[in-house]
Chain A
Amino acid sequence: MEEMRQSIILSSVFIYLLICIAVGIWAMRRTKTANDFFVAGRGLGPVVVSLAVFSSTLSGFGFVGGPGLVYSTGLSSVWMVVCSSLGFAVGFTLISKRIRMIAEVRDTISLPDVVYARYGSNAVRLLTAVTIILGVLGYLATQILAMALVLQSILTPTEMFAGISLVACVTISSAVLIFYCVTGGIIASVYTDLVQGIVMIISGALVVITAAQVFEGGLGEASSILLAHGGEDIMPFGTLGVMASLSWFFLFGLGLAGQPHIATKMMMNRKLSDNRIILPMTVIGYVVAAMLWISVGMVMRALVIGDIAMPLGAPDQAAPAFLTNHAHPLLAGIVFAGLFAAIMSTADSFLNIGAAAIIHDIPKAIRGRALNNELFWARTATVVLAVFAAFFALYSYYENGELVALLGAFGWGTFAAALVPVVVIGLNWKGATAKAAVAAISSSLIINFAIQTLQIKIPYAISAGFISMLVSMILFIALSLLEKPKMLPKDIDHLMDL
Chain B
Amino acid sequence: MIAGITGFIVLGDPPIGAAGSPHATIPGMSVGGDGAARLVAIGRAPFYFQLCVILLAASLLYMGVAKHRRDRRFFLLVAAATSFAVFVWYKTYSGYEVYLATGQTDVVFGFPVPTNWMLWGVWASFLVFDAIYVVAFRTYYLPHEDEAAFEALVAELKAETDAAANAPPASPPKAPLHAPLHTKPGDA
Contact = CB atoms under 8 A, between A and B. Distances in A.
A93 B129 contact: yes
Given A246-B49, A459-B12, A89 B61 contact: yes
Contacts of A425: 60
B149 A498 contact: yes
A489 B178 contact: yes
A241 B32 contact: yes
23 contacts: A75-B115, A86-B57, A89-B61, A89-B129, A101-B150, A106-B178, A220-B110, A233-B32, A235-B32, A236-B114, A241-B35, A244-B19, A254-B60, A276-B133, A425-B60, A428-B64, A430-B186, A462-B10, A470-B6, A488-B180, A491-B177, A497-B66, A498-B146
Given A235-B35, A275-B141, A305-B29, 7 more contacts: A75-B115, A90-B64, A93-B61, A94-B63, A220-B107, A253-B57, A498-B146
B101 interface: no
A494 interface: yes
Interface in A450-468: 458-462, 467
A313 B26 CA distance: 10
A489 B177 contact: yes
Nearest to B68: A497
A93 B133 contact: yes
B75 interface: no
Given A72-B28, A462-B9, A489-B178, A224 B107 contact: yes
Contacts of B32: 74, 230-233, 235, 238-241
B129 A485 contact: no
Contacts of A1: none
Contacts of B83: none
A97 B141 contact: yes
Interface string B29-66: 11111010011001000100110010011001101111
A194 B26 CA distance: 40
A82 interface: yes
Contacts of B153: 105, 491, 494-495
Given A312-B28, A489-B178, A460 B157 contact: no
Consensus secondary structure, chain A interface? helix
Interface string B105-117: 1010111101101
A84 B120 CA distance: 12
Given A72-B28, A233-B31, A244-B19, A78 B186 contact: no
| Category for how many chain B residues contact A | 35 or more
Contacts of A233: 31-32
B38 A241 contact: yes
A232 B3 contact: no
A249 B53 contact: yes
B45 to A, nearest CB: 8
Given A85-B129, A238-B32, A241-B38, A495 B63 contact: no
Consensus secondary structure, chain B interface? helix
Nearest to A314: B28
Interface in A97-132: 97, 101, 104-106, 117, 120
Contacts of B31: 230, 232-233, 239
Contact of B185 (A117, A280, A294, A488): A488
Contacts of A314: 28
A275 B49 contact: no
Contacts of A219: 110-111
Interface of A: 71-75, 78-79, 81-86, 88-90, 92-94, 97, 101, 104-106, 117, 120, 212, 218-220, 222-224, 227, 230-244, 246, 249-250, 253-254, 272-273, 275-276, 279-280, 283, 287, 294, 301, 304-305, 311-315, 424-425, 428-431, 458-462, 467, 470, 474, 484-495, 497-498
Contacts of A254: 53, 56-57, 60
A78 B119 contact: yes
A237 to B, nearest CB: 7
B82 to A, nearest CB: 12
Contact of B18 (A222, A275, A294, A460): A460
Nearest to B149: A498
A324 B38 CA distance: 37
Contacts of A484: 185
